[in-house]
């Protein structure tokens, strides 16, 4: 390396001939000529050899990579019985691995104001008690404005479509406007295999927005909300206890309002609560009519006058047994209507295997049961006159009567 640099200096700066340089440095003229014509300094490169130790194990390595493209080089070395140097083996594996596991480059994303809100579910673990007092893990819906990094989040009872839409509508009120696009992954309650779940398209139509689902194996496209999930896990959750889901949401809302959305974001250098103003200006206003959210089911009320919603049973007024009722489930209440009459309204249980009974429904069922028993008892004492046929008519007809 030093000779190469000195040869080029003498040739270019002092204008010495190649012969003079060779005499001064005690080098051959061919060496001097190669140094002058070379554009880069010389470096040692191992010449490939078909008879090398790598050539003896290459086919075995390729077979393993064909089955397990991401197998580490250390494991490959063990499987093929490699006993040589690890660095040289790993270098050869890295050279051929792209033939079996192509690289997946990701682009740098630029988020413009009002363009996108990313949505995801965060599962904090079994930190909230259900209606029976057992600690359960309920999903937390997280929505992050991609430009301002404003975080809106709340715990919801389940991940069914109706609860997801109701949660999204609630959090969009916190954001204050509707973005041009909502980004989701392939969550089953939103849609899978390129098809949206029932009710999602109508929800987006009322909001005048478009829902985009990220492609599989593409986590970078929704990295903003993924990082927000990690931030909630490490900065909000530790050291907290919760008495119920409402307490969880109250603490989460206070933390988001007072800390998370008031800090200076490390990536953007902006305060999310302040940058949200720019985001809102580029968004669409909230619609004057609320979209359809929650879950609505039409069913016939059975004799037990209970309906099942989310794994729990809720009583309905027994006077409508046998009639069609419409059951609506939102984030807070279970409501049942028969025609224009409300026949049940209960606070929703968090969890499963619960039973909710309205005392008025229980009392009405007891009255109806006594009325039924009384009617049945009265019917059993009634005497009924039954006409008895005159069988002598058959004797006269067929001639089987007694002969006088």
State the Cα–Cα distance between residues 363 and 317, nearest whole angstrom.
10
pLDDT of res. 50: 44
DSSP secondary structure string for all residues of 359-403: HHHHHHHHHHHHHHHHHHHHHHT-----PPP-THHHHHHHT-SPP
Helix H, strand E, coil C: the string for 293-324 is CCEEEEEECCCCCEEEECCEEEECCHHHCCCE
- Residue located via tokens 């480059």: 105
pLDDT of res. 322: 95
State the Cα–Cα distance between residues 404 and 400, nearest whole angstrom.
12
Give buried/exposed letters for 385-401 (b at 16+ CB in 10 A, else e): eeeeeeeeeeeeeeeee
Selection from 72, 75, 188 nearest residue 121 by Cα: 188
Are 340 and 333 in contact by the 8 Å Cβ rule? The answer is no
pLDDT of res. 194: 81
pLDDT of res. 402: 54
pLDDT tens for the chain, 404 residues long, are 577 788 878 887 778 888 888 888 888 888 888 888 887 777 766 655 545 788 999 999 999 999 999 999 999 999 999 988 899 999 999 999 999 998 877 777 789 999 999 999 999 999 999 999 999 999 999 999 999 999 999 999 999 999 999 999 999 999 999 999 999 999 999 998 889 999 999 999 999 999 999 987 777 789 999 999 999 999 999 999 999 999 999 999 999 999 999 999 999 999 999 999 999 999 999 999 999 999 999 999 999 999 999 999 999 999 999 999 999 999 999 999 999 999 999 999 999 999 999 999 999 999 999 998 988 887 666 555 656 666 676 667 666 555 44
Residues in contact with 278: Cβ distance below 8 Å, sequence separation at least 6, in sequence order: 113, 147, 148
Residues in the chain: 404
For residue 141, the SS3 value is strand
State the Cα–Cα distance between residues 174 and 169, nearest whole angstrom.
9
For residue 265, the SS3 value is coil
Choosing among 3.30.420.10, 3.20.20.70, 3.30.500.10, 3.40.50.300, the CATH entry for 116-281 is: 3.30.420.10
Work out whether strand 324-329 and strand 312-315 pair parallel, antiparallel, or are unpaired. unpaired
State the Cα–Cα distance between residues 7 and 24, nearest whole angstrom.
10
Residue-range domain boundaries for the chain: 2-37, 53-99, 116-281, 295-380
pLDDT of res. 1: 59
Q: What are 334's strand-pairing partners?
A: 329, 346
For 142, list phi and psi in degrees, rounded to 5.
Answer: -120, 130
pLDDT of res. 403: 47
The secondary structure of residue 232, as a DSSP letter, is I
Selection from 355, 358, 354 nearest residue 345 by Cα: 358
């Amino acid at each position: 390396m030093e000779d190469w640099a000195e040869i080029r200096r003498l040739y270019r700066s002092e204008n010495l001939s190649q012969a003079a340089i060779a005499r001064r440095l005690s080098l051959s003229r061919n060496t001097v000529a190669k140094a002058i014509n070379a554009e880069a300094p010389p470096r040692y490169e191992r010449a490939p050899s078909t008879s090398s130790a790598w050539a003896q194990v290459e086919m075995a390595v390729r077979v393993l990579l064909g089955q397990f493209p991401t197998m580490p080089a250390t494991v490959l070395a063990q499987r093929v019985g490699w006993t040589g140097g690890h660095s040289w083996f790993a270098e050869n594996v890295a050279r051929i691995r792209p033939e079996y596991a192509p690289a997946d480059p990701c682009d740098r994303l630029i988020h413009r104001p009002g363009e996108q809100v990313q949505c995801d579910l965060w599962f904090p673990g079994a930190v909230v008690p259900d209606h029976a007092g057992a600690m359960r893990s309920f999903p937390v819906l997280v929505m992050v404005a991609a430009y301002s990094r404003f975080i809106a989040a709340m715990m919801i009872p389940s991940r069914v479509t109706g609860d997801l839409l109701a949660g999204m509508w609630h959090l969009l009120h916190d954001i204050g406007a509707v973005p041009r696009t909502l980004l989701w992954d392939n969550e089953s309650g939103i849609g899978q295999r390129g098809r949206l779940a029932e009710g999602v398209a109508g929800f987006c139509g009322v909001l005048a927005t478009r829902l985009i689902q990220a492609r599989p194996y593409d986590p970078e496209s929704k990295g903003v909300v993924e990082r927000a999930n990690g931030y909630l896990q490490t900065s909000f959750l530790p050291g907290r206890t919760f008495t119920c889901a409402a307490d969880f949401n109250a603490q989460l809302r206070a933390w988001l309002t007072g800390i998370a959305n008031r800090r200076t974001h490390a990536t953007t250098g902006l305060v999310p609560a302040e940058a949200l103003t720019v985001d809102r200006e580029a968004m669409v206003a909230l619609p004057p009519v609320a979209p359809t959210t929650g879950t609505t089911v039409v069913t016939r009320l059975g004799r037990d006058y209970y309906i099942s919603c989310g794994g729990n049973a809720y009583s309905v007024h027994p006077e409508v047994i046998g009639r069609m009722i419409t059951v609506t489930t939102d984030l807070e209440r279970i409501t049942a209507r028969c025609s224009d009459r409300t026949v049940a309204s209960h606070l929703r249980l968090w969890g499963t295997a619960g039973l909710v009974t309205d005392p008025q429904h229980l009392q009405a069922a007891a009255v109806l049961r006594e009325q039924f028993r009384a009617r049945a008892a009265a019917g059993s004492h009634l005497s009924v006159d039954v006409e008895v046929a005159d069988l002598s008519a058959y004797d006269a007809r067929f001639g089987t009567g007694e002969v006088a």
